[in-house]
């Protein structure tokens, strides 16, 4: 609606006001001048009707739609630029030729009017494009500038020159504003999402009554959920436990950050998902939503620490459990710049132990438990609840015809996938037919592709991006070997998933992975960062069929020790403590 109103204000109200405020001669000259300018808008608008359906289709398929914007901008310029040159610079010839001798009075105004109308037409392309992407700041900006134009014309209307100056200035201002919004579109999206999160505070929230003493109302604060573009093992852990609790009759809500691709509210397998805030602001909105929405509606809170927890003991009075997948001290030092590394490190190592001094801690592996105690993050002995695997889904199947090495997970700095590429380069010298696959998304994706190109093996390393659950299982099943060179893991859920599919694992000898990978049982451990040692282990497994078969069978047996049902029940017993 605002789009239509702003167009009417921009292209019609000025003529009405000219007739009202100017004498009949000047009003007639302005009306013809504006009409000539609107011819550019008409030609330029011929490309715009395709934006909405094309962008909507592209966004629906999670494809980048910037090419559509660029194509439409170029098409619009091709349609209007010749008219701008003809009427703006050579108006003294073309205007009388096309509109008669009366147009000679408009000639001196044609350059500013046609230029500003060209700007206006391009602005409409930006506005339509971002409206299709559900960015509403562009539409609102158009409406505000249209109202400004109306107000300024009402105040400054002494003569024809004033009218032309005001109109051409506001049309140009509209272009400058939309272009800046386009450049800062990421920040615009953050602003709109946070504004929307604020407005949602006033929506009705259905309270949940506790059905019985045996059934819990569980509120989980987590950085992301499984639909987030950068979701990983921590999100799978929360999801797998939660859906089993829901199936058992418990009520589970997950409050997490939003990546802009998923809806704000969603129910997945009975789990109520609230997505609010972004990379950092999710922590702020967690506090606000707890106070205004969640307070008093839950029996227990699970505060999931992904380097930085939600500090729920400062504002929540329900029973709280702190979930720590792994300690992030070294991760902060390696992946964050100062002062962010210093802030994050101190929040985890110094502030968190004070805030959670009376809180039960849950972790996912013996290594993580030892690290938590070593860094004195708690005075209580942490509970270990292992990640599990669904053996009905993750099972052995036919392997690929070619030697295939797989990594599947987030593409983050601490995952050390440069080691994967270095090792691949060495293995390919001995086994040229080998194929290496990296599946997943993350901020290191582009750097890793460049690194593979620098090694000259970009045709041997396939970057698949984020894959579906079905494709994920198929990749595990077809791979000859799974490789994880990460600097640290809480447990290494992908190692267990690969094992369940009969795929041996070569991983870094670091906390977490040394729990999920047993040397000589379901794979081998290699010294962290040592690409030569990784390459030797990978070559050994790929080149020895009997060893690979033995490790594959052992891997299936090892993975069968870890069940989501067992983990969900064990954690429920802990959550029920003292309730």
Closest by alpha carbon to 465, among 421, 408, 506, 524? 408
pLDDT digits (tens, 9 = 90+) for 266-317: 999 999 999 999 888 999 999 999 999 999 999 999 999 988 999 999 999 9
Secondary structure percentages of the chain, helix, strand, coil, to 5: 60, 10, 30
Backbone torsions φ then ψ of 140, nearest 5 degrees: -65, -40
Tell how far CA 194 is from the center of its chain: 15
Greatest alpha-carbon pair distance for the chain in Å reads 97
Question: How far is Cα 556 from Cα 521, in angstroms, rounded to an integer?
Answer: 10
- Bridge partners (DSSP) of residue 218 are 252, 300
Nearest 10 degrees: Cα torsion 414, 365, 526, 418: -20
pLDDT for residue 44? 84
Nearest by Cα to 123 from 178, 65, 74, 66: 178
Count the neighbouring beta carbons within 10 Å of the beta carbon of residue 359.
21
What is the pLDDT, as a whole number, of residue 95? Answer: 85
Q: Do domains 208-384 and 404-562 have the same CATH topology?
A: yes
- What's the CA gap between 543 and 372, in Å, rounded? 39
Q: What are the beta bridge partners of residue 265?
A: 274
Q: Where are the domains of the chain?
A: 2-183, 208-384, 404-562
Going by C-alpha positions, the residue among 442, 488, 484, 493 that lies closest to residue 463 is 442
Angle at 313 between CA 222 and CA 246, to 5 degrees: 45
Q: Are 485 and 507 in contact (CB under 8 A)?
A: yes
Distance separating alpha carbons of residues 310 and 291, to the nearest angstrom: 13
Residue identified by tokens 């792994």 is 326
| pLDDT recorded at residue 394 | 94
> Could you read off the pLDDT of 477-493 as tens digits, one per residue?
999 999 999 988 888 89
Q: Of 91, 83, 90, 112, which is closest to residue 173 (Cα–Cα)?
A: 112
Give the CATH class of 208-384.
alpha beta
Per-residue confidence (pLDDT) for residue 354, from 0 to 100: 94
Tell me which fold the domain 404-562 belongs to: Rossmann fold (3.40.50)
CA distances, 301 to each of 294, 335, 351, 539 (Å): 10, 29, 20, 47
Q: Can you give the pLDDT of all 579 residues of the chain as single tens digits?
A: 666 677 777 778 888 888 888 888 988 998 999 888 888 888 888 877 888 888 888 877 767 888 899 999 999 999 999 999 999 899 888 888 888 888 888 889 999 999 999 999 999 999 999 988 889 999 999 999 999 988 998 888 788 898 889 999 999 999 999 999 999 998 898 888 888 888 888 877 666 666 666 689 999 999 999 988 888 888 999 999 999 999 999 999 999 998 877 888 999 999 999 999 988 899 999 999 999 999 999 999 999 998 899 999 999 999 999 999 988 887 788 777 888 889 988 899 899 999 999 899 999 999 899 989 998 888 889 999 999 999 889 999 999 999 999 999 989 888 999 999 999 999 999 999 999 999 998 889 999 999 999 999 999 999 999 899 999 999 999 999 999 999 888 888 999 999 999 999 999 999 889 999 999 999 999 999 999 999 999 999 999 999 999 999 999 999 999 999 999 999 999 998 766
Q: Residue 193 — φ and ψ, nearest 5°?
A: -65, -40
Pairing of strands 251-256, 271-275: parallel
Examine residue 339 and say whether the peptide bond preceding it is cis (omega within 30 degrees of 0): yes
Residue with token string 């002494």: 158
Inter-axis angle of helices 160-183 and 185-199, nearest 10: 90
Question: What pLDDT, in 10s, does the model give residues 7-32?
Answer: 777 778 888 888 888 888 988 998 99
User: Of 46, 73, 186, 85, which is closest to residue 129 (Cα–Cα)?
Assistant: 73
């Amino acid at each position: 609606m605002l789009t239509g109103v702003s167009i009417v204000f921009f292209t019609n109200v000025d003529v009405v006001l000219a007739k009202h405020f100017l004498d009949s001669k000047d009003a007639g000259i302005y009306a013809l001048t504006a009409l000539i300018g609107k011819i550019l808008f008409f030609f330029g608008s011929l490309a715009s009707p395709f934006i909405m359906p094309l962008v909507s289709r592209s966004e629906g398929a999670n494809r980048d739609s910037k090419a559509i914007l660029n194509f439409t901008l170029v098409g619009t310029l091709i349609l209007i630029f010749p008219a701008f040159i003809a009427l703006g610079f050579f108006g003294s010839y073309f205007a009388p030729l096309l509109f008669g001798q009366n147009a000679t009075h408009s000639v001196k105004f044609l350059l500013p009017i046609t230029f500003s109308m060209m700007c206006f037409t391009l602005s409409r392309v930006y506005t339509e494009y971002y409206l299709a992407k559900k960015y509403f700041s562009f539409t609102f900006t158009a409406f505000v500038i249209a109202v400004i134009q109306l107000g300024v014309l009402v105040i400054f209307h002494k003569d024809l020159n004033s009218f032309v100056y005001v109109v051409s200035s506001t049309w140009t201002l509209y272009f400058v504003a939309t272009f800046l919004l386009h450049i800062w579109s990421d920040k615009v999206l953050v602003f709109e999402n946070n504004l929307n999160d604020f407005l949602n505070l006033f929506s009705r929230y259905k309270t949940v009554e506790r059905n019985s003493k045996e059934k819990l109302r569980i509120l989980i604060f987590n950085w992301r959920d499984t639909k987030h573009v950068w979701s990983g093992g921590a999100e799978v852990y929360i999801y797998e436990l939660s859906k089993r609790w829901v199936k058992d009759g418990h009520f589970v809500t997950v409050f997490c950050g939003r990546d802009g691709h998923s809806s704000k509210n969603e129910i997945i397998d009975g789990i109520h998902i609230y997505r609010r805030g972004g990379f950092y602001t999710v922590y702020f909105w967690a506090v606000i939503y707890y106070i205004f929405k969640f307070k008093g509606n839950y029996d227990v809170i699970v505060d999931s620490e992904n380097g930085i927890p939600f500090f729920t003991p400062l504002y929540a009075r329900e029973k709280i459990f702190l979930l720590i997948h792994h300690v992030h001290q070294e991760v902060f030092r390696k992946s964050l710049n100062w002062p962010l590394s210093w802030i994050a490190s101190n929040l985890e190592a110094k502030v968190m132990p004070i805030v959670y001094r009376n809180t039960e801690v849950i972790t996912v592996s013996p290594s993580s438990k030892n690290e938590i105690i070593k860094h004195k993050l708690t005075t209580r002995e942490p509970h270990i609840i292992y990640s599990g695997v669904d053996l009905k889904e993750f099972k052995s199947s036919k392997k690929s015809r070619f030697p295939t090495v797989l990594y599947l997970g987030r593409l983050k700095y601490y995952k050390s996938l440069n080691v994967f590429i270095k090792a691949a380069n060495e293995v390919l010298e001995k086994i040229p037919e080998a194929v290496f696959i990296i599946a997943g998304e993350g901020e290191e994706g582009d750097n890793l592709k460049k690194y593979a190109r620098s090694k000259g093996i970009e045709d041997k390393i396939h970057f698949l991006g984020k894959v579906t659950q079905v494709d994920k299982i198929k990749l595990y099943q077809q791979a000859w070997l799974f490789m994880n060179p990460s600097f640290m893991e809480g447990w290494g859920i992908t190692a267990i998933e690969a094992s369940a599919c009969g795929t041996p694992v070569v991983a870094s000898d670091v906390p977490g992975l040394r729990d999920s990978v047993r040397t000589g049982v379901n794979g081998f451990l290699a010294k962290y960062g040592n690409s030569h040692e990784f390459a030797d282990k990978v070559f050994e497994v790929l080149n020895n069929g009997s060893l690979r078969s033995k490790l594959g069978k052992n891997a299936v047996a090892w993975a069968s020790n870890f069940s989501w049902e067992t983990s969900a029940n064990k954690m429920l017993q802990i959550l029920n403590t003292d309730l």
